[in-house]
Amino acid sequence: MSKEQFWSEQLLYALNTYENNIIDKKMQLLILNRFKEIKNIADEYEVEIKIVIPIQHVELVNIEYTDRVYPYYLDYLKKLVDIFGEIYYFDYPNEKSLDYNLFSDPFHYTDSDIYINTLWQDDYSFCLKLNENNIDKHIEDIRIQIKNY
């Protein structure tokens, strides 16, 4: 199977997965409750957790921002921010997320330095640090970028 065929199949899989897991409130609640449990245990042992929403190819990001998925996706991100205080968000259109050659498929970015540079060297060139004060604006800006894509 060619990369292009595999890529197309992965995008179809993503659409189905997002619709089944993000839109399905029962599944979303189950996942979020598990995150709360993890956060409580981490707090008990004074362990810092950094939540990373990894970079994906912009074609995949486009699915998250469709009119059908977007309201649920935004709600999910806000709930993650409520639990963890902030999240590191790489999943938006930028020069890296547009480059087909930097991905083995729409989900898997091939250069992990982007995460190392952000989380350990405070380089936010390709990351948004989302918190309760900025999430609405950042996500709406991304939605506008996606519509222009």
DSSP H or E stretch at residue 103: strand 103-105
Q: What is the dihedral of CA 74, 76, 79, 81, to 10 degrees?
A: -70
What is the model's pLDDT at position 66?
Answer: 74
More confident call, 63 vs 79: 79
CA atoms within a 13 Å half-sphere pointing along the CA-CB vector of 120: 6
Distance CA 88, CA 93 (A): 15
What is the model's pLDDT at position 20?
Answer: 67
What is the model's pLDDT at position 53?
Answer: 92
- Is-above-0.85 flag for pTM? no
Distance CA 104, CA 102 (A): 7
Residue 113 pLDDT greater than 80, yes or no: yes
User: In the numeric block, which tokens belong to residue 32?
Assistant: 């979020």
User: In the numeric block, which tokens belong to residue 49?
Assistant: 């957790």
Q: Does residue 51 contact residue 96 with C-beta atoms inside 8 Å?
A: no
What is the model's pLDDT at position 2?
Answer: 87
Residue 70 pLDDT greater than 80, yes or no: no
Please tell me the total number of residues recorded for the chain in this structure: 149
Residue 50 pLDDT greater than 70, yes or no: yes
What is the model's pLDDT at position 36?
Answer: 97
Distance CA 30, CA 139 (A): 24
